Amino acid sequence: MDEQLRNKLKLVVQEHAQLAEAMATPEIAMDPQRYQELARKYADLGELVQTFTRYEQEEQGLADASQMLETEEDAELLAMAREEADGLKISLDTLEEKLRLLLVPKDPLDEKNTIVEIRAGTGGDEAALFAADLFRMYSRLAEIRRWKVEVMNSNATALGGFKEISFQLSGNSVYSCMKWEGGVHRVQRVPDTETQGRIHTSAVTVAVLPEAEEVDIRIDPNDLIIDVFRSSGPGGQSVNTTDSAVRVTHKPTGMVVSCQDEKSQHKNKAQALKVLRARLLDAKMQEEADARSESRRSQVRSGDRSEKIRTYNFPENRVTDHRIHLSAYKLREVLEGDLVEFFEALTVADRAERLAAQD
């Protein structure tokens, strides 16, 4: 390990220790918001500090094994020391690479709550049914991660699918996981309505929007056209009897957001503005990404919603992520929310890409 990298890591260890000391002071303990902020930073640095500690321990182990190779005369002990040294060299190389990746700054949006919009694409009823499958997959993921799911708008079909559905996920580090899900999800399976057993291919688009606070995106009320209309679909007694559904049009961009799943017009308006704010932040992020040179743009997470990112092949029990060429033969488990293998691989690939861009 070169000295420049070692010095960076020592500074991180020092910062980690300072955060622990600060959190133990009465002043910080009496300020919950400040305490949570420091605790989050402390936790974020934890893996890096633990990995560096392990690196130093194995580095000392290699030094001890090397010394034994120089001084030991017993053939059996020499063979053991040589084997240990070879194993430690490989482990140290792996740990150093991991440390370099962990030093890459995290996405500042990772802690944000997230709005997800799923829309059925090519494939008619089968695409709508798969949109419902994806909504259930993310709902199960939320259950596993202890996130809250709040449906904001939906357009159901007679067969139990969704032409579109938008919902908010709230909890710890939601966007850090969900940011990998934006794009086209393709399904290959035999529909229930298929009489000859032919495999059909359908597609669903997923948009993942980090929640935008008012400080992130300010909306001028004069730029909005707000219409109210009667709800349709599931919703209880108020459906088709009160003008509770809300449509918000943002004049400068032409964006239109409708919300009708709440029975209160006020709540639907608040939900619609939340979605609009998230879409405007997403558009701003796209502009910034387009402004960067092509060579620095991420190939793992391009943000292009027309990009096919994943295929779910039912006959082969296979899920393939096309961005990192990873296939997992556990389709049922994935649809039950087990996406950790994909999240981890995509995170590593993204960090490696950003690390290469820094060089």
User: What kind of fold does domain 221-289 have according to CATH?
Assistant: Double Stranded RNA Binding Domain (3.30.160)
CA–CA distance, 267 with 249 (Å, rounded to integer): 17
User: What kind of fold does domain 114-211+299-358 have according to CATH?
Assistant: Alpha-Beta Plaits (3.30.70)
Convert the pLDDT of each residue in 15-44 to its tens digit.
Answer: 999 999 999 999 998 998 899 889 988 988
pLDDT of residue 63: 93
Decide if pLDDT at 164 tops 90: yes
Residue 214's pLDDT band (boundaries 50, 70, 90)? Answer: low
- 132 vs 37, which has greater pLDDT? 132
Average pLDDT over residues 125-143: 96
Decide if pLDDT at 242 tops 70: no
Decide if pLDDT at 355 tops 50: yes
Give, in degrees to the nearest 5, the angle at Cα 260 between 254 and 266: 90
Amino acid at 332: R
DSSP string, 247-297: EEEETTTTEEEEE-SSS-HHHHHHHHHHHHHHHHHHHHHHHHHHHS-GGGS
Domain boundaries, given as residue ranges, for the chain:
3-102, 114-211+299-358, 221-289
For 47-64, letters b (16+ CB in 10 Å) and e give ebbebbeebeebbebbee
Reduced to 3 states (helix: H, G, I; strand: E, B; else coil), residue 73 is coil
Residue where the block lists tokens 């502009």: 287
The tokens describing 79, both together, are: 């063979």
pTM above 0.75, yes or no: no
Q: Which range is least confidently modeled, 221-225, 226-230, 290-294?
A: 290-294
The tokens describing 135, both together, are: 């909504």
pLDDT of residue 103: 87
Q: Which residues contact 200 (CB under 8 A, 6 or more apart)?
A: 123, 126, 188, 189, 190, 191, 194
CA–CA distance, 47 with 296 (Å, rounded to integer): 27
Residue 147's pLDDT band (boundaries 50, 70, 90)? Answer: very high
- Two domains, one topology: 3-102 and 114-211+299-358: no
Convert the pLDDT of each residue in 80-107 to its tens digit.
Answer: 999 999 999 999 999 998 898 888 877 7
How distant, in Å, are the alpha carbons of 185, 201, 216, 229, 313 from that of 188? 10, 5, 40, 38, 5
In CATH, which of 1.10.3470, 1.10.357, 3.30.70, 1.20.58 is domain 3-102? 1.20.58
Average pLDDT over residues 324-329: 95
Decide if pLDDT at 188 tops 90: yes
The tokens describing 164, both together, are: 């579109």
pLDDT of residue 342: 96
Q: Closest Cα partner for 157 from 128, 182, 130, 186?
A: 128
